[in-house]
Structure 1
Amino acid sequence: MSDSWEGVVLRKSRGLLDGSNLYRRLTIRLADGTAVKVRVDRDVWNNVTVGDTVSKAPGRKPVIVD
């Protein structure tokens, strides 16, 4: 996967993968049909819903597309 992408949220998940840090992940369907899991910060995770579009520009964090 390249450093920039855009896709639709299929699923939200979070977990204590290492026992002490909470990781928030989104499963995203990209335009080419592939599904990828990406880590996002708390603000994005709290404000995104399944079906929303999320994008990431090179060198930036993922953001919700209005």
Structure 2
Amino acid sequence: MTKHEDAWSGTVVKKSRALLDGSNLYRRLTIRLDDGTKIEVKVDRDLWKSVEVGERLVKQEGAKPRRG
């Protein structure tokens, strides 16, 4: 999983969640950035539940991703 702290914008192409360590549920979104590359980002429950594949997300530097 790529950890991106910088600003980016892109489209959700996949939603996933897993109990990787057996006790914590991790929610991830695969994002296709505007330049065509794909990244995976961990997101909180509220954002994960509110977005669908095909929706656009924006992240400002130092902030959490948001719909945009």
Q: Give the TM-score normalised by the residue count of structure 2.
A: 0.89
- For structure 1, which runs of at least 5 residues remain unmatched after alignment? none
C-alpha change, 1:42 and 1:2, in structure 2 (3 Å) is closer
Cα deviation for residue 18 of structure 1 reads 1.1
Could you tell me which residue of structure 2 aligns to residue 3 of structure 1?
6
What is the correspondence of 1:1-66 to structure 2 with a 5 Å cutoff?
Answer: 1=4, 3-65=6-68
User: Is the Cα contact below 8 Å between 2:5 and 2:62 reproduced in 1?
Assistant: no
CA RMSD of aligned residues (A): 1.1
Query: Whole-Å Cα distance in 2 between the matches of residues 18 and 35 of structure 1?
Result: 24
Deviating above 3 A after TM superposition, structure 1's stretches of 4 or more consecutive aligned residues are: none
Q: Give the TM-score normalised by the residue count of structure 1.
A: 0.92
